[in-house]
Amino acid sequence: MEMALTEAEAAAERGEPPVGAVVVLKGEVVAAAGNRVRENADPTAHAEILVLRQACRTLNTHRLDGADLHVTLEPCPMCAGAIAEARIRRLYYGAEDPKGGAVDNGVRLFDQPTCHHRPEVYGGILEIRCSELLKGFFSARRP
């Protein structure tokens, strides 16, 4: 999660909402990424989507069985869906997102009977630092 926080900080420096993510397989970091929605002009370029794509490219697979995802913010519906598609084993996230989250808030995607794959979920990892980084970013941008 420290490395995901570093990615989130780098995203903030690029003017993007500070969210960062890392994929780990067998104790090794396979991929790390931060939000690049504006820079890439890509509404799907959330940290989780970028890191999953990068990990799959590195491993030349479309399924990351046994891999774990660490992300600084509770994933949104798009990213939670991608985590299920990628067959992530364990999801570790930092700050909860009552408005936009889809894991322990909102549609609680992994708890639904139509969800094809459920990772183990561990929330609240380095929660305060993940949360303060986001709060600081958005309060600095408010007029």
Question: Segment contacting its own copies (CB under 8 A): 26-34, 48-56, 65-73, 129-137?
Answer: 48-56
Using the contact rule CB under 8 A, the part of the chain among 17-25, 26-34, 59-67, 130-138 near its own copies is 59-67
Position among 2, 27, 28, 41 found at the interface with its own copies (CB under 8 A) = 41
Rank residues 15 and 128 by Cβ distance to its own copies and give the closer one: 15
Residue 11 in the binding site for its own copies (CB under 8 A) = no
Q: How far is the CB of 2 from its own copies (least distance, A)?
A: 26
Cβ atoms within 10 Å of 9's Cβ, excluding its own: 15
Q: Phi and psi (nearest 5°) for 64?
A: -100, 50
- 123 touching its own copies, by CB under 8 A: no
Nearer to its own copies, 5 or 22 (CB): 22
Q: Does 15 bind its own copies (CB under 8 A)?
A: no
In this structure, the dihedral spanned by the alpha carbons of residues 6, 7, 10 and 14, taken in order and rounded to 10 degrees, is -160
Beta carbons of 105 and 137 less than 8 angstroms apart: no
Which parts of this chain interact with its own copies (CB under 8 A)? 37-38, 40-46, 49, 52-53, 56-57, 60-64, 76-82, 84-87, 99-102, 105-107, 109, 112, 114-116
